[in-house]
Amino acid sequence: MTQRTVYVNGDYVAERDAKVSVFDRGFLLADGVYEVSSVLDGKLIDFSGHMQRLKRSAGELEMSLPWSDETLLEIHRELIRRNALEEGMVYLQLTRGSAGDRDFAYPDASTPPTLVLFTQAKALVDSRSGSEGIRVATQPDWRWTRRDIKTVQLLYPAMAKMAAKAAGADDAWLVENGMVTEGASNNAWILTHDGVLVTRELSHAILPGITRAVVLEIAAALSLDVEARAFSVAEAQSARECFVTSASSFVTPVIAIDEVMIGDGRPGDVSRRLRSAYIEESRRRAI
């Protein structure tokens, strides 16, 4: 595989030369936050939403983010340019940096944060999961209780995805007190037989998805009824359609939950319509 150019603390370097301290708090304590922004036609989509959420995540953790939106946009664009990325994602990670030792206490303000960005090429529009849908398996939601902060503590979501794959599914839906919180790395939606789109209301229980917010705008423009509330696994299994949203999957139909087929087991019309509307709108708004 060709070497990517990645960004580490002010420098653009070949990935093999990219280095972060072994004492970095992101490595030792998962003391870091991240964003994944998608790229279509070499341009960023939903960028300002991702940067707003990054600021919020850092703020909730009292982590400094001494870069303006304009500077972060320049870094994203420079990486896209240097890697000739047409379609895929830019991953950004910000950690509380390294004070040169391991300590639970936050270092003082003289310790600079660590900022790393890299690109990932991926076919986002013409993807098999997008056209054929995915199967999900439910798993208990055993993450911490501040899931609204996009931290790099992703061990449990990784375990849940592995358990879902072991059960023959493509991804996991996480469940707490009988209600679906969200997917392991996406927001969960259903369409009821009355034609109402349902996705969980924002709280500390889920990540406020940037794709979710744009799909809510599109649903309103298409005059679809929407309810922001929790739904159970049983309600989802008997729904007309189910789908997930995220920066890296856009709108992706869910065709089975724990081996129970949703509808006729094929991607639903509303899910497909929202997927193409989201792609069209994103292309229009891309910067």
Footprint on residues 203-222 left by ligand PDD (CB under 6 A): 207, 209-212
R_g (Cα) of the chain, nearest Å: 19
Token representation of residue 217:
């705008």
In whole angstroms, what is the distance from residue 45 CA to residue 58 CA? 21
Q: Which residues lie below 8 Å from residue 206, measured CB to CB, with a gap of 6+?
A: 147, 148, 181, 182, 187, 200
Within a 13 Å sphere around the CA of 4, how many CA atoms are in the beta-carbon half? Answer: 19
Asked if 141 is part of the footprint of ligand PDD (rule: CB under 6 A), the reply reads: no
H or E element at residue 273: helix 269-285
Asked if 139 is part of the footprint of ligand PDD (rule: CB under 6 A), the reply reads: no
Q: Which amino acid does the sequence have at 130?
A: G
Give the nearest distance from C-beta 56 to ligand PDD in angstroms.
12
Give the nearest distance from C-beta 106 to ligand PDD in angstroms.
24
Contact in structure between 190 and 235 (CB atoms under 8 Å):
yes
Residue written as tokens 């599109």?
Answer: 218
Stretch of residues binding ligand PDD (CB under 6 A), selected from 25-33, 92-100, 125-133, 245-253: 245-253
Stretch of residues binding ligand PDD (CB under 6 A), selected from 19-27, 183-191, 256-264, 270-278: 183-191
Angle between helices 47-60 and 210-221 (to 10 degrees): 130
Distance of CA 214 to the CA centre of its chain: 13
Tell me which of 5, 119, 199, 246 binds ligand PDD, using CB under 6 A. Answer: 246
Asked if 245 is part of the footprint of ligand PDD (rule: CB under 6 A), the reply reads: yes
Can you tell me whether residue 250 is helix, strand or coil?
A: strand
Give the nearest distance from C-beta 245 to ligand PDD in angstroms.
6
Catalytic residue among 19, 150, 161, 165: 150
Asked if 37 is part of the footprint of ligand PDD (rule: CB under 6 A), the reply reads: no
Asked if 182 is part of the footprint of ligand PDD (rule: CB under 6 A), the reply reads: yes
Asked if 181 is part of the footprint of ligand PDD (rule: CB under 6 A), the reply reads: no
Quote the strand ranges of the chain, DSSP E. 5-8, 11-14, 32-40, 43-45, 88-95, 114-121, 134-140, 171-176, 179-183, 187-191, 196-199, 225-228, 241-246, 250-257, 260-261
Contact in structure between 287 and 265 (CB atoms under 8 Å):
no
Tell me which of 119, 139, 187, 282 binds ligand PDD, using CB under 6 A. Answer: 187
Asked if 75 is part of the footprint of ligand PDD (rule: CB under 6 A), the reply reads: no
Asked if 256 is part of the footprint of ligand PDD (rule: CB under 6 A), the reply reads: no
Tell me which of 98, 186, 271, 282 binds ligand PDD, using CB under 6 A. Answer: 186
Judge whether 43 counts as a catalytic residue: no
Give the nearest distance from C-beta 159 to ligand PDD in angstroms.
13
Asked if 185 is part of the footprint of ligand PDD (rule: CB under 6 A), the reply reads: yes
Give the nearest distance from C-beta 181 to ligand PDD in angstroms.
9
Nearer to ligand PDD, 114 or 282 (CB): 282
Q: Which residues are catalytic?
A: 150
Residues that bind ligand PDD (CB under 6 A): 36, 182, 185-187, 207, 209-212, 245-248
